[in-house]
Each structure stands twice: as structure tokens, then as C-alpha cells.
Amino acid sequence: MKKTYTPKLHEIERQWCVVDAGGQTLGRLASQLAHRLRGKHKPTFTPHLDTGDFIVVVNADKVVLSGAKEDQKVYYRHSGQPGGLRAETARERRQRRPAKLLETAVWGMLPKNRLGRRLIRKLKVYGGPDHPHQAQQPVPLDLAANT
């Protein structure tokens, strides 16, 4: 009888990847990043384990929204107080915190449990072309070629 293989924690290999988000569509990029964070591109993927890679995203402020979403897509948050509902468009969010646009899109595609919270910590998003993760020697990853 064959048994299902589950990778042990010391057998999981994670690598650092750097992705240039300039000119890429927000939703398509976010789904590919979530796929990689989860580890679904590896043959050792296990749904209940963190087998994914670390991903550094640069130029997040140059990500593209299709259609009229720049002004029509609205992000809501609530403080918990009466009258505490706040809304901002994608354009306003990009001006205020450009990295948060991509982080929110990726978070929406990850599981909403302890595993998802652990996975989102492996995503590092920066608005400009520079990042402080040179010591990890990230490998350039071209996700535009995969579409």
C-alpha cells in the first residue's frame, strides 16, 4: 500500500525571488505571487504546510489596473466606531501607500487562517526599484513570461 508523502520541515527548500511589477496587471500578478507564496509550483506542495518561496516585489507603484478600475475600485475599512467607515479609491491608495495596493490583492488570494498569515509575511513589497534584501541573493523571476 502506498502512502502519501509529506515533506518534513527540514526538507522544505525556500528560495528568495525578486519580481519587477512595473507594467504588469495587478490581478494577474497577484494570483501568480499567491501561487508561488503557497508553494504550488513545487512537486512537494502540501496544502497544510508552508512550502512556498520568499518574494520581493519592486516597482509596485508602476503596477497597472485594467479598465477604469483606477477610479472605480474602492477600498473600505471601518474603525469599529459609529460613523467610522472610510473609503478610498485605488488611485488614492496608490498615492498614499503604493505597496499596499499589491499586498491587499495578494492577501485576498491566500487562505484566511494561520497558514495564510504566515504566507503573507514572506511577501516583501517596495514601491521603488530598491530593496534591502540583497544579502539573501534573490533570483530574478520573470512572471510576465508565464502569462
Asked if residue 147 has pLDDT above 80, the reply is: no
State the Cα–Cα distance between residues 101 and 57, nearest whole angstrom. Answer: 12
Angle between helices 98-107 and 26-38 (to 10 degrees): 60
Domain ranges of the chain: 15-65+96-146
Q: Tens digit of pLDDT for each residue in 31-86?
A: 999 999 999 999 999 999 999 999 999 999 999 999 999 999 999 999 999 999 99
pLDDT, position 146:
67
Burial class (CB in 10 A: 0-12, 13-18, 19+), 19: buried
Return the CATH number of 15-65+96-146, one of 3.40.50.720, 3.90.1180.10, 2.120.10.30, 3.60.15.10. Answer: 3.90.1180.10
Alpha helices in the chain (DSSP H): 26-38, 69-72, 90-96, 98-107, 114-120
3-state helix, strand, coil in the chain (%, to 5): 35, 20, 45
What rounded mean pLDDT belongs to the chain? Answer: 94
How does strand 85-89 pair with strand 16-20? unpaired
Q: Structure pTM?
A: 0.92
State the Cα–Cα distance between residues 116 and 70, nearest whole angstrom. Answer: 27
Burial class (CB in 10 A: 0-12, 13-18, 19+), 119: buried
pLDDT, position 25:
95
